[in-house]
Structure formats: C-alpha cells, structure tokens
A = this chain, B = another copy of it.
Amino acid sequence: MSEQYKMLGDKSRLTILASLKVRELCVYDLVDILGISQPGVSQHLRKLKAAGLVTETRKGQWVYYSLTLEDKPHIKAALEFAPSMQQQVEQLKNDCCQ
C-alpha cells in the first residue's frame, strides 16, 4: 500500500494521474503537460504501470494510458483531492495523437 502512495509522492506522477483522470492520454500529451523529457515520462508511466495504477492501449502509432483504479479506492480517494488538470488537458495541441 505504501508502494502505491509512493507513486503519488512524486509531483510528476501525481500530475500524470490527475491528468489521466480527465481522459486517457498518449505519452507526448504528458510530455507537453509535465515539461520533462519523453523518456522521463515513459519511466514514470512504467512505474505507474508496475504499481497497477495505469494501463496502456496502443492505437496505431500512439500508446494511450488510462487509470485502472476500480480496485484501489484509496488512490481514487486521494486523487479526489488533487488539483484538477481539466484546463491543461483541454488546452493540449489538437495535432498531437489523433
């Protein structure tokens, strides 16, 4: 359980999770949002996947990530309190990942 909270204990990962709460996103969407390198984002996503918090779906050349929190009420609850990323997600460049 602390392993999952550890995932929230990093600003970038908390932002990733809050963003995925709005909708599923591909890696470059998250690069735009976070302002860190693409491999950096991929590393975080790998950890989140290992912790069982996200899942990936390839769609063409893009890989979309989304939350898998059905069986994790504590993480779900925690994310309720995270600042909304609605705005930032809506303002993503439309020419990415479509």
Contact = CB atoms under 8 A, between A and B. Distances in A.
Interface string A5-21: 11111110110000000
Candidate in A2, A82, A83 with the most chain B CB atoms within 10 angstroms: A2
A7 B5 CA distance: 9
B14 A9 contact: no
The oligomer's copy count stands at 2
Interface stretch (A32-40, A56-64, A73-81, A86-94): A73-81
A34 to B, nearest CB: 13
6 contacts: A2-B14, A5-B5, A5-B8, A5-B9, A77-B77, A77-B78
Given A1-B14, A2-B9, 12 more contacts: A1-B83, A2-B10, A2-B11, A3-B9, A5-B5, A5-B8, A5-B9, A7-B9, A8-B9, A73-B81, A74-B77, A74-B80
